Structure formats: structure tokens, C-alpha cells
Amino acid sequence: MMINFRNITFLVASIAFMSSCESKKENQVTQELPIQTEAELADGKFPYRNLSTYGFFEGEIKNLSPNASLIPYQPASSLFTDYALKSRFIQLPENQEALIAENNLQLPQGTILIKNFYYPADFSSPKENIRIIETRLLIHSEKGWEAFPYIWNEDQTEAVLKVVGGEKEVKFKNLKGEDQVINYLIPNKNQCKTCHNQSEELAPIGVKIKHLNYDYDFPSGRQNQMAYWAEHGKLEGFLGKENHPSMINYEDKTQALEDRAMAYLDINCSHCHQAKGPASTSGLFLEYNQKEPMKLGVMKTPVAAGNGAGAFDYDILPGKADESILTYRMNSTEVGIAMPELGRTTIHEEGVALIREWINSMKK
Amino acid sequence: MKPIHFLFLSILLFGIISCNSRSNEQTFDSSKLPRASEAEIEKLVEDFIMVEDGGTIKVEPLFYDLKTQLILDNKKNIKIQGAGMEQSVISFRNLKTGGEGVKIVGENILIENLSIEDAPGDGVKAQHTDGITFRKINVTWTNGDKSKNGTYAIYPVQCKNVVIDGCIASHSKDAGIYVGQSENIIVKNSLAFGNVAGIEIENCDNAEVFNNVARDNAGGILVFNLPGLPKSDGRSTKIYNNEVIDNNHENFATPLGDGANGNTVTMIPPGSGIVLLAAKEVEIYNNKILRNKTTGLAIASYQITGFPSEAPNWSPYTHDIYIHDNTYERTMKIPDLTRELGQLISVYNAHGKAKTQDIVYDGIWDTNLSSDIETNPMKICIQEAGMEDLHFTRFYLMDGEDKIESFKDYKPFQGCQVSVSTDVSGLASL
């Protein structure tokens, strides 16, 4: 039977209601988390409540000094997360190794990826007065990958699992010496998958061959990361740098502009904007090796962009960065417009500048 | 304040200036509800994260002020149940990050008896879900300034077996009920009002839209196929027994005074009842298409947008359309002049300037099929009672702006039928 909606009585929201909504408390900052004092048993049943229970770090936990089972890593290009600095480690299970098969990096069950997000008080001294905000673990269990966000306390003595996420006010001085205040948003557990998603399975982003087939400053010296793993008995199937895909660091100004732009889009966008990612709905695919102009957004009209389209017709209008939706959305912090949708409440000026330069260099 | 006065006032204030109406109507007032505590809010977020297959997530009769998204991730046989649209309200007004309020991925999911308000992006989005039912949910925005509203209210995309039943979607900046790149779809018994587009079926296969009311939107019901998407072209849609009335709301998809942008919906002229764009195999019958001031029904090809019209496995033409047994009523209002398509209809229609049309056809055809549109190469079949009294216009736009012509003659499009087959019997159990 058809519902007759026309008979539903309706109330027009009063002006008072509107203004009461507007005046809701804003900028509520996550309260300090209670730390459970009794020690947690490291019984191998993940996730642990406390980060310290994993025993990843030696000495004072806030120094993030890895134990011998952790390998530090860094993708060639980094995902922008509100200028947070990151220290990343991988722990492969004892006596097991990763495998490269058809240029896919396969990590054994029991692998844990550890990513610490921190801010120095002053970016000109990036190693001093550090405040760690959160540590995200990706754990490869028999159920596949799972993500767990841990939020650090103000004393920097512990981080506690918080599946619902949170919010922290962060202050720092940027490289220009300007004081910055941001509301850092810690994603809830399921938001992690907004980015870490391949065909609706949770998946690492930076731990892929194309990102790690690149040099890193190990304590033992600068070396290709995949070569280092292989040398230490942690990787099988590595045939040398030239025989696998590799990406560049978009910050490396000696590289070609187009390659730098594509590297930037790959690490910042392509986890969603690819055929197996959540943004496949848009038809906009931004992987490093994308060659089809329409998939890259050239003269492509938006689909479900809503406010994100601004006043513009195309994702990329060649030669006109200021009339392209891509730069418009990168250059906004307004939820509903800003891209990426998560992990960014500030504008990445350098990233916007790079993509602008690239679009402006395209032939009209 | 009695609602009628408010509406009258808003028409007076905005209607005269823009010649389009505008509505802030709410079906109820959620501000009167008891508010969920921080602990109750956190429990709801946790329930979405921790629920196991076969479980039920209860949304209590409270007003929930969320600061984070509610995401259901790859679960099976889940029920998300509120205590009623006017009792259980989830507000995303204070959401600072995330593309939608509620996101659902999984298999055989039901969401029912609740309201979702003020999400900055989309209200509720379901993706890659086989078996998704939205029942008696209300998704809306309460901003006085509608330019701040979100994109889609109810948004299944890349889904299979979709049922939208007894829902209300209002005030979205794009489509209230938007089904995209999906297959096997029922939209029924629902109400869409105050949106730019009421109900939209885009790049979908096998859809039935019936017993709905689409009123007071800029456009009532839309069937589109857009280029360059993973689901490249859709076909087989039936639209029947709907009321498509008074869709004369201003198009607020872009700021007032700004024209259209690359989002196709920004081009919809206020006063559009049903719009077909690059649509294939659509049957439209037994609908009441009343008082839509620009045109009751528009049949258009993608070329009319002026955007590039080539994409793999996709055709810009609208073809195989069967329109019959609908009721039309024109208004005395002036058709839209704010959008190019509105201007085209207002100025160039075959019945006289500023006359509302019942059916317009852009007359863009594939010349590879025939050199003469009077052979009806795109199979546009119209069988309406009293056709001679309807305002029918077929345009000639093949030579661009310099030579726009229009014709009243509907006979080339009569005496034919198109068989559109849909089968949604598999959705009966949802």
C-alpha cells in the first residue's frame, strides 16, 4: 500500500532551533585517557590494550627505539597527514620472510606494521621536543589485515587502543617559523579502511614494492630497502632494483615534473582512486602508471562531487590549474570539498603547488 | 509559526527574486529529542565497529551528535534499527572529516526506522553491498542556508539487490535518493522533496521506481547514464505510479547566481518533472506529472550538456523509451530561465514563448541509423491519451546554437512500442 506522505504534518524548524544548533560546543578535544596501571599480559592475543605490551621499543617508549625484530621503512613518497612526521617499522614473524610474486609484496601472517605520527615543537629541529600523537598498527592475522589506532597520553609514557578514534589539539612552529595550531583527527578503526582498502579488503598502502624499492638511511648505511630485507633473510624473490617497479620521491626536484606529480597523486590519492579502491565510483584513477587522459581526469566531468566541483567543469582542465577540480579540492579544508576525505585538516601547500605546476604545464 | 506562512514567506522572499521556489520544510523537529550522552555516542560508534555477522545495531530513541563516521565494514546479515524516524536521530553536523555520515559495506544489510541529519558529504552511502535495504529512514539537512547541504541523502552505489522503501530524502544538493552503478533496484513508497533532484537512477540495470512522491525538487525523477564510469552504461528502468509534482524548487547545486558546473545535476532547470539523459530502455507510465513549470518530461541526449560525449562502452544517446498513460497538468508559471536548458525550452519551444511544456525531446539522434529523425531512429515511443492537447516539442539542435528549430508534430513518435523488461522479483525477500 502506498504511504500518503502528503498527509504527514510537518513542523518548520524554528529560528530558535537553528541557532541552538549553531551554538553547539565546538573543538571538543579528546580527554586524557585513563591508563590502566596493572600490567597487561603479552599473551599473543591481539590487539593488546596498551602499545607497550607489544614490546616494540626498548628503553623509554617515547624514544621509539626499535628492538632488533623491527625494520624501519619509508616509502619513496609519503602520504601527507597534516604535516605529521612519521616513523615506520615492520615486524616480520621470526624465521619467516616476505615474498615477491608477480611484483606483489606478500607479507606472512603475523606481520605487524607500526606507524607513529608525531610533531616536533619546531620543524626546524625535527628531532627535538617531540610529541607523539598516535600509533597505528596494521596486523596481518588469519582474518587478513586489521587496523588498530593507539592514542598516546600527554606524559608520552603509553598509548592506548581506542577503536572510536579521537581528536587532539597540536601546536608547532613550521619551517617558516610560523606558529601553527591544528585539530589532529585520529580516525576510528573502520575509517582506516577508507584508505587502506583494496576490493573491500584491508590492505597496506606504503608497503608495496613500488614504494619500498627505494633507498633508506639504515643505521648501517644508505641502501635499497628491498635489498636490505633480502640481505637480512627477510625477503625472497627480489631480483634487483631494475627488475621491479619503483616510484620516485615527489620532493626530489631533479626528477621530471610529470613523474613527481604522478608520484604525489599515487601515494596521496590512488589508494582510493583506482579500480579496486572505494573511489572507483568516480572513474578517476590516479596510479603512478596511469596513461589514459580521461581516467586521469583530463577533460573529465565529475560524477558525485557535490560541493567538491566548485564552479568547475573538469577534474583537470589542461593548462588551467585554477579551473581544475583536482586542485580546488586539494586546496580546501572544508569537509565535503577537501580531498583526501580523511587525514587532512590543513592544506598541503607544497603538494598543491606541485599539482598546479603540472596542470599548468599541460598543453591546452 | 504555522508552516504555511513560512512557506508563503519564503516564496515571497526568494520566489520573486529567483522566480523559483525554495523550501526548508522539515517533517519533524529533532531538537526536542533527548540527547545521547558521550558514552551512548561512543557505544554507537563501537557497535558499528565491533558488530559480528548476524548482529543487530540498536539506535536508541535519542539525538546522537556524532563527531566521527559510522562505518559498517564488510559484515553479513546486519540490521541497523532505530526506534522510528522521529525518535532515533543521528546528526553529523559536527563531523570534521569523512565523505559521508554512515557508510555501509557488506552483504544483506538492513537500515531502518531512523533519521540522519546534516552530513557534510553524503547522508548514508552503501557500496559493494549485495542486498541492501533502506526502510523508513529519513535523511535530511536542517541548514537554513541550503548551499551548505550535502550531496546525496540515500546513496547506494556499486551495489546489487537494492530496496529503498518508505524513506524520506530532503534538501540534498544533488539527488535525495541516488542509486548509482548498481543492478536490481526497487525504489518505492518514498518521498523526495526540497532536493535538487528527487530520485535519480544513474548507470544502473534493472530498476523499478514506483509509488513514490517526488515533489518540490528542481527535478523530480532522473534516469541518467554518465560517461567514463566503471559501470559504463545502464538499461532497463520502469517508472510508474509515481506523483511527480510541483518540482519548481531552485537549483541550489551551485550558489545562487552561479551557472552550471561539470556536475550534470547543476544543469537541471527548475520545473522539470522527469528527465532522461543518455537513458536506455525506460518505460514511464501511470504517473501523475503535475505542475512542473518548465516541462513534465524531458528526453535528452548527453550531447546537450556540451561536454565530451565519447567514452568506452557507452552511448550518449537516449533510446528505446516507452511513455504511456501518464497524467499531465501544466502551470501558468514562467518556465525556468536560470539554466540553459530552461532557456532553450522557454524561448524555443513550439507552443509559444514562456509556455510550460508537457514533453520535450531534444531531437538529437544518431545519423548513422537514419538521416531522418521522422523515422524515429532512437525509438522514442509516446502513447498518451489526449496527446493533441499536450504541449509536445521536438527540437532540432544538430546544427548548434545558430539554427535551433522546434516542432509540435508528435506523430513520428506514435504508433510504436518498446518492450522494457525488468525483473525485481528476487528482491521480494529483502
pLDDT digits 0-9 by tens, A185-197: 999 999 988 889 8
Question: In angstroms, rounded to a whole number, what is the distance separating the alpha carbons of residues B321 and B419?
Answer: 9
Is the complex ipTM more than 0.90?
Answer: no
Q: For A29, which residue in chain B has the nearest alpha carbon?
A: B67
Give the residue-averaged pLDDT of A343-350.
92
The contacts of residue B194 (CB under 8 Å, 6+ apart) are B23, B24, B25, B146, B170, B171, B176, B216, B217, B249
The Cα of B374 is separated from the nearest Cα of chain A by a number of Å equal to 32
Question: In angstroms, rounded to a whole number, what is the distance separating the alpha carbons of residues A162 and B379?
Answer: 59
Q: Do A306 and B65 touch (CB under 8 A)?
A: no
* Count of CB pairs separated by less than 8 Å, A with B: 186
Q: DSSP H helical segments within B300-408, as ranges?
A: 340-348
Per-residue pLDDT reduced to its tens digit, B373-388: 999 999 999 999 999 9
Q: For B225, which residue in chain A has the nearest alpha carbon?
A: A303
pLDDT, averaged across chain A = 88
Q: Do A26 and B94 touch (CB under 8 A)?
A: yes
| Grid cell digits, residue A192 | 582506516
The Cα of A67 is separated from the nearest Cα of chain B by a number of Å equal to 32
Q: How far is CA B422 from CA A32, B89, B97, in A?
A: 57, 35, 39
pLDDT value of position A281: 93
pLDDT value of position A64: 96
The Cα of A188 is separated from the nearest Cα of chain B by a number of Å equal to 7
The contacts of residue A78 (CB under 8 Å, 6+ apart) are A86, A206, A267
Q: Do A336 and B68 touch (CB under 8 A)?
A: no
Per-residue pLDDT reduced to its tens digit, B49-86: 999 999 999 999 999 999 999 999 999 999 999 999 99
Reported as a pLDDT band with limits 50, 70 and 90, residue B334 is very high
Q: Do A303 and B29 touch (CB under 8 A)?
A: no
pLDDT value of position B400: 84
pLDDT, averaged across chain B = 93
Q: How do the domains of chain A map onto residue ranges?
A: 51-243, 257-361
pLDDT value of position A125: 95
Host H or E run for residue B241: none
Q: Do A8 and B26 touch (CB under 8 A)?
A: no
A161 contact residues in B (CB cutoff 8 A): none
Taking the model in full, what pTM does it have?
0.88
Q: Is B10 on the interface with A (CB under 8 A)?
A: no
Predicted confidence (pLDDT) at residue A29 exceeds the cutoff of 50: no
Question: In angstroms, rounded to a whole number, what is the distance separating the alpha carbons of residues B116 and B100?
Answer: 11
The Cα of B347 is separated from the nearest Cα of chain A by a number of Å equal to 25
The Cα of A26 is separated from the nearest Cα of chain B by a number of Å equal to 8
Reported as a pLDDT band with limits 50, 70 and 90, residue B402 is confident
Q: Find out whether B262 and A301 touch, Cβ atoms under 8 Å.
A: yes
Which site among B261, B266, B277, B286 would you substitute to test the A interface, given the most A Cβ atoms closer than 10 Å to its Cβ?
Answer: B261
Nearest-CB residue to B42 (from A18, A164, A311): A164
Write the DSSP symbol of residue A120: E
Q: How do the domains of chain B map onto residue ranges?
A: 3-32+141-427
- 121-160 in chain B: CB under 8 A from chain A: 121-122, 127-128, 142, 144, 150-152, 155, 157-158
pLDDT value of position A28: 41
Got the DSSP string for A307-346? GGGTT-SBSB-TT-GGGBHHHHHHT--STTT-SSSSS-SS
pLDDT value of position A37: 55
Q: For A6, which residue in chain B has the nearest alpha carbon?
A: B213
